[in-house]
Amino acid sequence: MAAIVYEGMFILDSNRFGRDHDTVSGQITTLVEKYGGEMLVSRLWEERRLAYAIKGQRKGTYWLTYFRLDPTRLVELQRQCQITDDILRVLFLKVDPRIVDALVAHALSAPVIVAPVEEVKVRDEEIEDAIPVVDAVEGVVVEIEEDV
């Protein structure tokens, strides 16, 4: 049977990923190739707090992949992902062949922005300067001028 392109979204254990990100993320490529797949894109998506604890973890690292795999091997890959300690959850979606090139190109070009915790803190004055005031009656943006 012909290989089909799949999108895989993995939620990885953030603690293990933080300690050794190359090994943890490399496991995904290794698993796909072990079952005869070809990795097209494998990249960090984001790290975020989970809505509920998964395997005792409250935070997860999302890893996006696009790969080509024989559909008969997908069940084996999914089972292996379930028993791998570094992978908390996984979701595989079959990609429509008409949009494969666009999705892969977008995934390759999308930037990953990871800001240190110190840079995330913003002063109240910076927030007020960045938010325009909108007149609800007229729907017009009103500029506020401050004496500095």
104 membership: H or E segment, kind and range? helix 100-109
How does pLDDT run across 55-106, given as a tens digit for each residue?
A: 999 999 999 999 999 999 999 999 999 999 999 999 999 999 999 999 999 8
Cα angle 36, 37, 41; round to 5: 160
Residue 139 has pLDDT above 60, yes or no: no
pLDDT at site 108: 87
Using DSSP's 3-state secondary structure scheme, residue 14 falls into helix
Q: Is the pTM of this model over 0.75?
A: no
Neighbours of 118 (CB within 10 A): 6
How does pLDDT run across 122-133, given as a tens digit for each residue?
A: 444 554 454 444
CB 27 within 8 A of CB 46: no
Question: Among 94, 142, 148, 105, which residue's Cα sits nearest to residue 125?
Answer: 148
- Alpha-carbon distances, residue 97 vs 36, 39, 84, 101, 103 (angstroms): 19, 16, 29, 8, 10
Q: What is the mean pLDDT of the chain?
A: 82
Indicate the pLDDT class of residue 2, thresholds 50, 70 and 90: confident
Indicate the pLDDT class of residue 109, thresholds 50, 70 and 90: confident
